[in-house]
Amino acid sequence: MDRFSSALLERFGAERALVARDQMLAYECDGFTIHKSLPRAVVLPETTDEVQAAVRIALAHEVPFLPRGAGTCLSGGPTPTRPSLVIETARMKRVLEVDERGLWAVVQPGVVNLALTRHVEGRRLNYAPDPSSQTVCTIGGNLAENAGGPHCFKYGMTSDHVLGALVVLPDGELARLGGPAGPRAPHEPDLLGVFTGSEGTFGIATEITVRLSRDTEGLRTLLGAFASMEAACGVVTDIVARGLVPAALEILDAATIRAVEASVYRAGYPQDAAAVLLVELDGVELALDDDAAEVESIFRGHGAISIEQARDPEHRKRLWKGRKGAFGAMGRLRPDLYVLDGVVPRTRLVETLREITAIGRRHRLTLTNVFHAGDGNLHPNIAFDARDHDERARVLAAGHEILALCVAMGGSISGEHGIGSEKIDHFRLMFGEDDLDVMQRVKRAFDPRGLCNPDKVLPSRTACAESSRWPAMVARVLDAEPPAAESGP
Amino acid sequence: MTTRPTHDATDFEVTARTAVASEAELRAVFAGLRDDDPPIRIAGHATQQDAVAAPDTPVHVVSLAPMRRILRLEPDDLTCSVEAGLPRADLDAALRERGLWLPCDGDGEAGSLGAQFAIGRIAPEAPGPLASIGARAVLLGMRAMLAEGKAFASGARVVKNVAGFDVHRLLAGSRGRLFAALELHLKLRTLPRATASFATDELEFAAALRRFDDLRLDSAPPARLWLARSRDASGFVVRGRYDGAARVVADRVRRHQLEERTWRHDDRDDRDDSAAVERVGGAVPPSRIAKLVAALPSSAPVRVSGSGSFVTRLGRDASDALLLALPALDGHAEIERGARARRGRGTPLDPGAVRVHERVRDALDPRRRLR
Amino acid sequence: MSDASTPASWHANTLDCVHCGLCLEACPTYQVLGTETDSPRGRIYLMRALAEGRVTDTDAIRPHLDRCLDCRACETACPSGVRYGHVLEAVRAELRAQPPRTGRTTRSFRARLASFLLRAVVAHQGRLRWFFRFARAAELSGLRRLARALRILPADVDALVPHVPPGPARRPLPAVVPARGERRGRVALFTGCVMEQVFGEINRKTADLLAANGFDVVVPESQRCCGALLVHDGQLEPARELARRNLAAFADCEVVITNSAGCGALLRDYGHLLDTDTARAFASRCQDVTAFLARAGLRETPARFAAKVAYDAPCHLCHAQGVRTQPLELLRSVPGLELVAHPSAEDCCGSAGIYNLLQRDLASAIGRQKAKALATTGAAVVATGNPGCMMQIAASLRAEGTPLAVVHPVELLLPEPPS
């Protein structure tokens, strides 16, 4: 056994240090399964000291390292690009402090998003950010990725709810950024702000101070079905223009409705609809009925085929069922699922969606759209079989075209999933060489040795920025060795 | 571009003042800078120079005041892009015309948007879901320039984006010492349908804090909320504003037995203070407001928001005592206004954070041209 | 190792997993260990790699597959409908058939002994009855205490295994227990192996409850152990043999009632195990006693039971059989009974067949979580419909010093005895 492995085993023991090659298989990817790469070892620290120890062992052996939460990331954030040490935070799941009157809590990074809300729900409090994977994803991962979710339109992203973090920097030293009084002192810049969303490349947060929110009094959930996507998007524009601020505004397109209705997630959405729009209002009981009536009238004004309002929690669950099951329903169609993530200005949703559908058709792919309409945050889903080389290449090509489209519309290549390794080749669609240079300098300020989750977010500057027909990722996949499944041992 | 020697009423030495009207002009200023030239202080309209730390050497003040265009305003997308020198008041007026507003503190205050972000006093006021954490929630992206003349962008113009590192977040509190912001992309909201301002009569501190906490911890808290003791007053008032649907706003005012009353902060213009009085601004976790007030002299004017950010005016000894007391309350603060040698002093910063900050400065302005 | 050109039959099932990870928190071993290799997603991934010939040393992954409780909570959480249990059981069978690659064995003595006992004793009703006669004698004569003192019987095993009830309680039920009052139908009762020997009283009460509510209860003499423990252990062939015998024993029974969730889950999965139409038809006739009675309706009001009760859902009832609301409905009809909230009712208790004997540390860590959760409910009694869970929960409660009584739901549903 090599010295690096021995050092890990000695410090963490066999239960908390995995070093066997075959164990690494389970860690070779996250929710983005197209990029796979074996780590060198995995450790499971339980304290800040142990995270520091793990980082120092890695540094001493010149081994790259990276943090990992629940591995639900959809952009390859916790997938090593080189044989690295994965620092898994799953055992760091203690809620360290709750200040009910101060409306904040301090948690370890492995605390599951929903578990924090469960922890404080008896006090009429909650942790507002709710990514779709909130039953399993960790707050540390949310911080690293600046996670979003369906309720961002009203409540903002993770960055709007993080007050402080104790960070093990990539050189093994500690830094305390922000705290319960706020993310920065008046006489310092917002270092926590730039740390948030740095995708595990600036260090590892080991204690995170988050803001808690008061539970609202009530909820109203409405579902409208429309004969055209224009109508559904028009409703969203009207709702926003009138100053209503729903907690969620979610749209499913016709292809998603068909996939959902054909699956176990059947929610009774009208199958002839081109789009269904789910609107959730929350706030003061007194206003909710008026607001719901107003939303209904906006629905009618745009010629809704059908309108449904949840009568009780069971009914609400049913209305949400199709939305929540959309990814699962797509997953059942084919062995693999690629969930894309892009943003366009809300007013350009309709034309963007039309173009995305055309791209899917051109590449002969099973493509559907589910999206956070209030934010213009699109999630085209492509169901495919990664073992089919040609199809896999077509998926990646379509993904690239869709992201280029989002940028051309004035939007972004990622609203909430991050760049990771997935979109590193798309980075230049949005940013120029000078932007890249400045971001690289900031990265080096945090990680001078470049060992903390390397080759993520920023493309290498030596790699030529020439325009080629395919982005490098597609080219790599096309040129890659066939996967082991086909070659065998 | 106009450059002139200066004898303005700053209490630090200014060798020259230049106002730039474009990115190209700023680049030209940076390009013309020789190693032995005085370093540069980036300013907006230079109205806040006596309210931030003074430079430690004579400086050339470069003002972005002529860069004051609204570049793009998309009411349906709820976003806009502005030049950094645009006065906040101009933007607020343009937005109000279209039924919009910039949902963060600092409205009605002097200075440009760039300065508001860079000085970093845009603190969250509201305890509710629309509250921002400082500049973060509204600043979607920016275009900026390093002292070496390199212009760059970060973030995006859309309301949701996680692409690349959010270098624009470093603007908040950077005081122009990392880069000069040129354009800001901002997130907007539709104006609330109804508002109701309220204020209580003067109350004993304990009673005022109880009312403040009741409102702050309500499931539908006011959009703005303050607990304040005026100069020369012995008691505290609670004041704030509800935003929202008319029925809700009226109901909350009734339910909490509040009196609708317009108010304005009476501490906005503190330039008349004697030199011995310092303005100290900072924040404590809102659960520790009682301890904050206990740490102040009983006559000190103070104003604390629902999220725990505060401003107070103190004599030197009292501000030193407060800066010493705050870490135990998990709070932090800085002397905002006062004698040149005193401004910018604050609660001790975490050494790790200071180290990172220095490394970021090394990376973005290695020659320390920005002071 | 399977030939790469003909991947194992279960390989296709692993492809349903899209690697979303929504199963992670449902998994008891992941919750304790935090390792991806001990999560459902990670295990599926390892099993898929195995089928695809990417695993170089099966011994490195075997312990992770052995640690799975097969509780199937992940199947409930899975949005893509992966049939995890089927994949795991097939892989365990395949790994069992392979000699360890390195010559060393990763299976403990205990695991091998357990495999042997399952095959040689539990699978044979007669031998099992003898075994328990011996165990009872050992208890009475102080042999059990002696064995414990000499550490032949490890303390944890001793703590887990309840005292063997006296002979009469272990006597098989009569062939028919006739309905009382107006007759509503006829059902067959599956009595199970452990259930009959350790919890014979509950079988008797189940028959009583059904009879009191108007059902003739037949108890076929030729029925055997369901084979669930063998399936979990990867011993598919002996399990199939038992299944075929049970098919024959219950051939003419319209409704087969189980009161042990673990047995019920396998009986209802005989279609998959045997892959014949007869087996599938049989499987569809099997029902848990609570599901059956909730549907038929209780004719007799249960006896008054004034206590706070927490219902704990056996994994093989809620996750494997999808029976969730019926036990709660029935318990709510008990006069005086206050059903308390138990948010983690569907979390595994760590019993999982003989898991608690093989993976002591993990099982007791999982069991402790269960006991702690139960302690916070404020209940005086916990009701759960599976013998293994009853034993494990009772042992965990004792270890935590929490004085809750453990009962089978059936025990709370019996009407007042006729005076």
Residue reference for tokens 């896999």:
A392
pLDDT digits (tens, 9 = 90+) for A341-392: 999 999 999 999 999 999 999 999 999 999 999 999 999 999 999 889 899 9
Backbone phi, then psi, for A152, in 5-degree steps? -60, -35
Q: Which CATH number fits domain C300-413: 3.30.590, 1.10.3470, 3.40.50, 3.30.310?
A: 3.40.50
Indicate if the pLDDT at residue C10 is higher than 90. Answer: no
- Considering only CB atoms, which chain C residues are within 8 Å of A332? 16, 80-81
Cα–Cα distance, C385 to C412 (Å, whole number): 11
Calculate ∠ Cα C225-C228-C230, nearest 5°.
Answer: 90
> Which amino acid type is present at position B71?
L
Query: Which H or E run contains B364?
Result: helix B351-364
Q: Closest approach of chain A CAs to the CA of B264, in angstroms?
A: 24
Q: Do A343 and B161 lie within an 8 Å CB cutoff? A: yes
Indicate if the pLDDT at residue A487 is higher than 80. Answer: no
Cα–Cα distance, C143 to C136 (Å, whole number): 10
Cα–Cα distance, C293 to C208 (Å, whole number): 13
Cα–Cα distance, C307 to C315 (Å, whole number): 25
Neighbour subunits, B (≥3 Cβ pairs < 8 A): A
Q: Do C79 and A136 lie within an 8 Å CB cutoff? A: no
Closest CA to A197 of B201, B294, B165, B355: B165
Q: Which pair of tokens denotes residue C261?
A: 């969730």
Q: What pLDDT shows up at residue C6?
A: 41
Q: Under CATH, what is the fold of the domain B194-337?
A: Vanillyl-alcohol Oxidase; Chain A, domain 3 (3.40.462)
- Considering only CB atoms, which chain B residues are within 8 Å of A157? 160, 162
Mean pLDDT of the A318-324 span: 90
**pLDDT band, very low/low/confident/very high, at B104 (cuts 50, 70, 90):** confident
> Which amino acid type is present at position A354?
R
Neighbour subunits, A (≥3 Cβ pairs < 8 A): B, C
Which of A187, A340, A439 is best to mutate for the B interface (most B CBs within 10 A)? A187
Cα–Cα distance, A353 to A405 (Å, whole number): 10
Q: Closest approach of chain A CAs to the CA of C235, in angstroms?
A: 25
Q: Do A90 and C34 lie within an 8 Å CB cutoff? A: yes
Q: Under CATH, what is the fold of the domain A95-214?
A: 3.30.465
What is the domain class of A218-329 according to CATH? alpha beta
A451-467 b/e with 16+ CB inside 10 Å = b? bbbbbbbbbeeeeeeee
Domain span(s) for CATH 1.10.1060.10 in chain C: 11-97
Q: Note whether B340 and B55 are within 8 A (CB).
A: no
Cα–Cα distance, A113 to A133 (Å, whole number): 9
H helices of B230-282, where?
246-255
pLDDT digits (tens, 9 = 90+) for A81-138: 999 999 999 999 999 999 999 999 999 999 999 999 999 999 999 999 999 899 999 9
Q: Under CATH, what is the fold of the domain C11-97?
A: Fumarate Reductase Iron-sulfur Protein; Chain B, domain 2 (1.10.1060)
Judging contact as 3 or more Cβ pairs under 8 Å, the answer for A and B is yes
> Which amino acid type is present at position B287?
S
CA A74 to mean position of chain CA atoms: 6
Q: Which residues pair with C218 in a beta bridge?
A: C176, C188
User: Is A147 part of the contact surface with chain C (CB cutoff 8 Å)?
Assistant: no
Nearest residue of C to residue A115, measured between CA atoms = C25
Q: What pLDDT shows up at residue C105?
A: 55
Closest CA to A159 of B166, B15, C403: B166
Q: Closest approach of chain A CAs to the CA of B314, in angstroms?
A: 17
Starting at the edge strand found earlier in the chain, the sheet holding B59-63 runs B2-4, B14-19, B59-63, B40-43
Cα–Cα distance, C56 to C304 (Å, whole number): 61
pLDDT digits (tens, 9 = 90+) for C110-168: 777 777 777 777 667 677 777 777 777 777 777 777 777 666 666 766 766 667 777 77
ipTM of the complex: 0.95
> Which amino acid type is present at position B363?
A
Percent of chain B whose predicted confidence (pLDDT) is above 90: 77
**C323 by DSSP, 3-state: which?**
coil
Q: Which residues pair with A224 in a beta bridge?
A: A277, A307
Number of H helices and E strands in chain A, helices first, is 18, 19
Instruction: Give domain limits for chain B.
Output: 2-63, 70-190, 194-337
Backbone phi, then psi, for A286, in 5-degree steps? -50, -35
- Give Cα separations from B132 to A159, A162, A211 (angstroms): 10, 11, 11
- Considering only CB atoms, which chain C residues are within 8 Å of A72? 20-22, 24
Q: Do A169 and B247 lie within an 8 Å CB cutoff? A: no
Judging contact as 3 or more Cβ pairs under 8 Å, the answer for A and C is yes
Q: Note whether A346 and A375 are within 8 A (CB).
A: yes
Which of B121, B145, B356 is best to mutate for the A interface (most A CBs within 10 A)? B356
B305 CB-side CA count, 13 A: 29
**pLDDT band, very low/low/confident/very high, at C80 (cuts 50, 70, 90):** confident
Instruction: Give domain limits for chain A.
Output: 3-88, 95-214, 218-329, 334-481
> Other CB atoms closer than 10 Å to residue A173's CB: what's the count?
16
Which of C6, C11, C16, C19 is best to mutate for the A interface (most A CBs within 10 A)? C19
CB nearest A181 (choices: B137, B191, B331): B331
Q: Which CATH number fits domain A334-481: 3.40.630.30, 3.30.70.2740, 3.40.50.2300, 1.10.600.10?
A: 3.30.70.2740
Q: Do B190 and A240 lie within an 8 Å CB cutoff? A: yes
Q: Do A25 and C49 lie within an 8 Å CB cutoff? A: yes
CB nearest B152 (choices: A197, A430, A435): A435
**pLDDT band, very low/low/confident/very high, at B265 (cuts 50, 70, 90):** confident
pLDDT digits (tens, 9 = 90+) for A252-266: 999 999 999 988 888
CB nearest A337 (choices: C18, C41, C77): C18
Cα–Cα distance, C182 to C19 (Å, whole number): 54
Cα–Cα distance, A354 to A338 (Å, whole number): 19
List, as one string, the DSSP characters of A367-422.
EEEEEEGGGTEEEEEEEE-TTSHHHHHHHHHHHHHHHHHHHHTT-BS-SSS--TTT
User: Is B254 part of the contact surface with chain A (CB cutoff 8 Å)?
Assistant: no
Q: Closest approach of chain C CAs to the CA of A46, in angstroms?
A: 10
**Span B70-190 CATH architecture:** 2-Layer Sandwich (3.30)
- Considering only CB atoms, which chain A residues are within 8 Å of C61? 22-23, 25
CB nearest B219 (choices: A217, A375, A431): A217
CB nearest B158 (choices: A101, A411, A417): A411
Q: Do C20 and A135 lie within an 8 Å CB cutoff? A: no
pLDDT digits (tens, 9 = 90+) for C22-50: 999 999 999 999 999 999 999 999 999 99
Of A483-487, B262-266, B343-347, C346-350, which range is least confident?
A483-487
**pLDDT band, very low/low/confident/very high, at A290 (cuts 50, 70, 90):** very high
Query: Which H or E run contains A248?
Result: strand A248-253
**Span A3-88 CATH architecture:** 2-Layer Sandwich (3.30)
CB nearest A331 (choices: C34, C64, C80): C80
User: Is B362 part of the contact surface with chain A (CB cutoff 8 Å)?
Assistant: yes
H helices of C9-142, where?
11-14, 28-33, 40-51, 58-66, 73-77, 84-97, 109-117, 125-141
User: Is B89 part of the contact surface with chain A (CB cutoff 8 Å)?
Assistant: no
Q: Note whether A336 and A386 are within 8 A (CB).
A: yes
Write down the mean pLDDT value for chain A.
92
Q: Closest approach of chain A CAs to the CA of B157, in angstroms?
A: 7
